[in-house]
């Protein structure tokens, strides 16, 4: 299936919305790549970037809770300019199929930054049954 890519730079404590919904809901998406990167090599970084299935603008935190069924992906970057070798960001994502908009959040701890992100989504054609299941899951997440 085709791949759709998104990239951006997100400020600390804010949310970006990636518009994916369609009128028919027959196009689903699955995350196949999620990467984050600091603004340059000379910045101390402590940042958490997450992707959700529902709006998180009222609750942007550094907490990661894999029991939250609205969470699709999470990445942590912790780097200091004092290090000679920076550890790669830790990235985890779910292979769940969704057919609605997604929301990218970013929150730092001691050294918050504007963080770059890159997302690859695989497009998945949904039949009527799959479309109904994906839409009902999204409705349950919003109202639950």
Q: What is the pLDDT of residue 144?
A: 56
Average pLDDT over residues 89-111: 87
Q: What is the pTM of this model?
A: 0.86
pLDDT of 82 > 70? The answer is no
Least confident of 23-27, 108-112, 130-134, 140-144: 140-144
Query: Into how many domains does the chain fold?
Result: 1
Strand partners, 122: 3, 30
Calculate what percentage of the chain has a pLDDT beyond 70.
87
Which domain range does residue 111 map to? 3-143
What CATH code is carried by the domain that includes residue 119? 2.60.120
Q: Is the CB of residue 87 less than 8 Å from the CB of residue 7?
A: no
9-56 tens-digit pLDDT: 999 999 999 999 888 888 999 999 999 988 887 777 789 999 999 999
**Positive or negative CA dihedral for 91, 94, 99, 102?**
negative
For residue 121, count CB atoms less than 10 angstroms from its CB and return exposed for 0-12, middle for 13-18, buried for 19 or more: buried
Structure tokens at 130: 């799959």
């Amino acid at each position: 299936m085709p791949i759709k890519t998104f990239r951006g730079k997100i400020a600390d404590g804010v949310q970006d919305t990636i518009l994916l919904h369609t009128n028919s809901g027959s196009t689903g998406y699955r995350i196949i790549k999620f990467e984050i990167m600091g603004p340059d090599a000379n910045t101390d970084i402590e940042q958490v970037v997450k992707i959700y299935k529902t709006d998180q603008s009222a609750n942007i935190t550094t907490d990661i809770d894999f029991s939250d069924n609205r969470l699709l992906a999470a990445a942590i970057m912790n780097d200091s300019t004092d290090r000679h070798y920076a550890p790669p960001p830790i990235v985890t994502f779910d292979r769940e199929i969704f057919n609605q908009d997604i929301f990218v959040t970013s929150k730092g701890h001691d050294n918050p930054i504007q963080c770059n992100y890159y997302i690859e989504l695989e497009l998945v054609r949904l039949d009527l049954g799959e479309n109904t299941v994906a839409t009902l899951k999204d409705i349950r997440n919003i109202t639950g």
